């Protein structure tokens, strides 16, 4: 079965540069989530989109922005990168089943290293 696809798998950027991470959700999943996981930390929710509209916002820095496109893929744009932005960035997608529950599937992540 198709999973959540994230690209690139690894990314190295210098301080103050910009980065764009991409996420391709499972077909027919209507919601995309972005999480950040620093070294030794638990995943932290950044932002989510439902049907291409922002549905929830977590601890996402103002330097970051995201959007979901008409084909449901999502991009996380990160500007003025700082050393502390080095982390694993996970994308997840979900669907709402008949009981209102959400099934979440996570991608393998993008490892961003800022040098």
Partner 1 sequence: DAKTTQPNSMESNEEEPVHLPCNHSTISGTDYIHWYRQLPSQGPEYVIHGLTSNVNNRMASLAIAEDRKSSTLILHRATLRDAAVYYCILKETSGSRLTFGEGTQLTVNP
Which residues in this chain contact partner 1 in the complex, by CB under 8 A?
A: 4, 31, 33, 35, 42-45, 48, 50, 55-56, 58, 90, 92, 99-109
Q: How far is the CB of 42 from partner 1 (least distance, A)?
A: 4
Q: How far is the CB of 7 from partner 1 (least distance, A)?
A: 14
Residues 36, 55: Cα–Cα separation, whole Å: 17
Which C-beta is closer to partner 1: that of 65 or that of 108?
Answer: 108
Task: Give the distance, in angstroms, between the CA of residue 108 and the centroid of all CA atoms in the same chain.
Answer: 11
Q: How far is the CB of 108 from partner 1 (least distance, A)?
A: 6
Q: How far is the CB of 16 from partner 1 (least distance, A)?
A: 28
Which C-beta is closer to partner 1: that of 14 or that of 98?
Answer: 98
**Which residues, 6 or more positions from 28, have their beta carbon under 8 angstroms from its beta carbon?**
95
Residues 110, 48: Cα–Cα separation, whole Å: 17
Which C-beta is closer to partner 1: that of 14 or that of 99?
Answer: 99
Which C-beta is closer to partner 1: that of 43 or that of 114?
Answer: 43
Residues 107, 115: Cα–Cα separation, whole Å: 24
Residues 96, 48: Cα–Cα separation, whole Å: 14
């Amino acid at each position: 079965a198709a999973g959540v696809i994230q690209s690139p798998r690894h990314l190295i950027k210098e301080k103050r540069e910009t980065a764009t991470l991409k996420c391709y959700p499972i077909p027919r999943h209507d919601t995309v989530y972005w999480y950040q996981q620093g070294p030794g930390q638990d995943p932290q929710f950044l932002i989510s989109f439902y049907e291409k509209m922002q549905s929830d916002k977590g601890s996402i820095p103002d330097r970051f922005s995201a959007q979901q496109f008409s084909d449901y893929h999502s991009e996380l744009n990160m500007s003025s990168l700082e050393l502390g932005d080095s982390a694993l960035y996970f994308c997840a997608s979900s669907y709402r089943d008949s009981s209102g529950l959400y099934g979440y599937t996570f991608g393998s992540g993008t490892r961003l290293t800022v040098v």
